[in-house]
Structure 1
Amino acid sequence: MEKELATIEKPTILVVDDHEEILDFIADDLSETYDVLKAENGRCAMETLSANPIQLIVSDVMMPEMDGYELCQLIKSDVEHSHIPIILLTAKNTLQSKIKGLEQGADAYIEKPFSPEHLHAQIYSLLTNRNKVREYFASSPLAHIKTMAHTKADEHFLERLNEIIHNNMANIHFDVEHLAELMNMSRPTLYRKIKAISDLTPNDLINVARLKKAAQLLSEGHYKIYQVSDSVGYSSQTHFGRNFHKQFGISPSEYLAQHKP
């Protein structure tokens, strides 16, 4: 099943552990399926994270300088990285330690000693579930952008993003430059965040948001197709119709007919 995920693209996983033998063992085991980066503690992990696009983190809990709990809390509260799933590994098998990890935002918790198969299955599950959520958002006309949020930081980011796009939707010249400026983010940072959370470029996300708004307006049944096309920032109804069909697999006229009372 891991090979199926890897054929799409090889995700990059960051493994964090202060025990060199364990770090090397996990990294070697995962390297057949994933691109693997290593860090010996939380502080080194944050440095690696700032310089590389990471799709998932596997971290030990007990480490010097910055432990796994601190690392998890820091990542999940940082809007630039909050979307990254984190698996915590620990020798502590108490309920209290598990609760603490989940409270810090961990997506999964695995007790040591663990089987490599268990870790592989957990990684695969987290990554494929994220992909399914992205696909659902992009292909479902009325799915809200918040369906892709996995943390409060992600939710706030996506709400703000959605609000700005909707407020500027009628402007056919609205693009990623305007979006980055209004989000108070550099264009590269905004690109990385949007790409990581949605697997879309910022311009693609703007276009999907336009089409979703169009689907909402069409479903209400109060507007003609050309009116909807104009209101979401398309200068050509033909171009709008082509993009709508490509995104949702149905033409605007067919979609309108489906939602007639």
Structure 2
Amino acid sequence: MTESILIIDDNEDILEFLSVVLGDSYQLHLATNGEIAQTVLDKEIIHLIISDIMMPGIDGFELCRLIKSDVEYCHIPIILLTSKNTYKAHIEGLEVGADAYIQKPFSSELLQVQIANLLKNRRKIKEHFASSPFEDVRVMAHSKTDEAFLKKLDEYIRTNIKDPNIDIDMLAGHMFMSRTTLYRKIKSLSSLSPKELIDITRLKQAASLISRNEFSFYEISKMVGYSSQSLFSRNFQKYFKMSPIEYFDSLPRE
């Protein structure tokens, strides 16, 4: 999947320059002010934001503050670009939640490395969560807001885990979000669809039950909402790279 970057700058030359530098590696969305940026965020799955600080209307500091305080977007890493070469400006950028702060004029190589590192770290966390039977969903949180969102989502799925029909509509109703907004949030945070997140939560609960050695695999598959033991086994293998019996055999014995 090609990751998408939203670039916000009122200078058309900067937008054109960054399009040339980043266009071959990422899917780009361009905005000349905060209002246009908001429209893009409402429609697209964005993996990273690059924003100038000095803009008419909503400046970069205020935009960063708004994004980082909104549950729908607070997980998106933000790089602030500025010509303000002062310690105070740097501190303010970090205080509003910026993940990186780059001074103009900047080298395109420095920007590319900074982007690559931020996205790579996010990818590693997502992959670790998806492939680790006991890793808590909150490992993917990048803020207290994200942590609360993921905890509420996880608790709902686990409370209703025996129901094989949990779907995005049920999740959206519980989270007081539209289907589209919830899908974007979950996909951007975890690289998983809501259905895949439900499946992984079922399988993590199954891994916990397997480790207790109190139930058969058939019983466990029913307890976590699978109508078919064969489907349960296939999905377990898909995400954790081992079958339920192989997982059981790998557990330490007292």
TM-score, scaled relative to structure 2: 0.93
Is the 8 Å Cα contact of residues 85 and 107 (structure 1) preserved in structure 2? Answer: yes
Aligned to 2:70: 78
Aligned to 1:243: 235
Specify which of 213, 217, 237 is matched with residue 209 of structure 2.
217
Residue 258 (structure 1) shift:
2.4
Residue 28 (structure 1) shift:
2.5
In structure 1, C-alpha distance between the alignment counterparts of 2:83 and 2:149, rounded to whole Å: 35
1:130 pairs with 2:118: no
Specify which of 144, 159, 163 is matched with residue 167 of structure 1.
159
Aligned to 2:102: 110
Query: What aligned pairs does 1:195-234 form with structure 2 within 5 A after superposition?
Result: 195-234=187-226
In structure 2, C-alpha distance between the alignment counterparts of 1:52 and 1:239, rounded to whole Å: 32
Q: Is there any run of 5+ residues in structure 2 with no aligned partner, and where? A: none
Q: Residue 50 of structure 1 aligns to which amino acid in structure 2?
A: D
Q: Residue 87 of structure 1 aligns to which amino acid in structure 2?
A: I
Is the 8 Å Cα contact of residues 27 and 37 (structure 1) preserved in structure 2? Answer: no
Residue 93 (structure 1) shift:
2.8
In structure 1, C-alpha distance between the alignment counterparts of 2:250 and 2:42, rounded to whole Å: 47
Q: Secondary structure at the match of 1:155?
A: helix
In structure 2, C-alpha distance between the alignment counterparts of 1:248 and 1:168, rounded to whole Å: 22
Aligned to 2:186: 194
Q: Secondary structure at the match of 1:58?
A: strand
Q: Deviations over 1:238-261 (max 9, x none)?
A: 221222112101121222222232
In structure 2, C-alpha distance between the alignment counterparts of 1:19 and 1:55, rounded to whole Å: 22
Q: Residue 15 of structure 1 aligns to which amino acid in structure 2?
A: I
Specify which of 34, 38, 41 is matched with residue 33 of structure 2.
41
In structure 2, C-alpha distance between the alignment counterparts of 1:236 and 1:160, rounded to whole Å: 28
Is the 8 Å Cα contact of residues 75 and 81 (structure 1) preserved in structure 2? Answer: yes
Q: Secondary structure at the match of 1:10?
A: coil
Q: Which has the higher mean CA deviation after the structures are superposed, 144-153 or 223-232?
A: 223-232
Q: Deviations over 1:145-185 (max 9, x none)?
A: 11111122211111111011001001122222222222222
1:95 pairs with 2:81: no
In structure 2, C-alpha distance between the alignment counterparts of 1:113 and 1:25, rounded to whole Å: 12
In structure 2, C-alpha distance between the alignment counterparts of 1:217 and 1:84, rounded to whole Å: 34
Residue 137 (structure 1) shift:
0.7
Q: Is there any run of 5+ residues in structure 1 with no aligned partner, and where? A: 1-8
In structure 2, C-alpha distance between the alignment counterparts of 1:158 and 1:195, rounded to whole Å: 12
Specify which of 36, 47, 60 is matched with residue 52 of structure 2.
60
Aligned to 1:141: 133
In structure 2, C-alpha distance between the alignment counterparts of 1:237 and 1:107, rounded to whole Å: 44
In structure 2, C-alpha distance between the alignment counterparts of 1:236 and 1:175, rounded to whole Å: 17
Q: Secondary structure at the match of 1:74?
A: helix
Q: Which has the higher mean CA deviation after the structures are superposed, 199-208 or 228-237?
A: 228-237
In structure 2, C-alpha distance between the alignment counterparts of 1:146 and 1:44, rounded to whole Å: 31
Q: Secondary structure at the match of 1:123?
A: helix
Residue 138 (structure 1) shift:
0.5
Q: Secondary structure at the match of 1:127?
A: helix
Identity of aligned residues (%): 52
Across the aligned residues of Structure 1 and Structure 2, the Cα RMSD in angstroms comes to: 1.6
In structure 1, C-alpha distance between the alignment counterparts of 2:225 and 2:89, rounded to whole Å: 51
Alpha carbons of 1:51 and 1:245: their partners in 2 closer, same or farther (altered >3 Å)? closer
In structure 2, C-alpha distance between the alignment counterparts of 1:48 and 1:179, rounded to whole Å: 24
In structure 2, C-alpha distance between the alignment counterparts of 1:127 and 1:46, rounded to whole Å: 21
How many residue pairs match? The answer is 253
TM-score, scaled relative to structure 1: 0.91
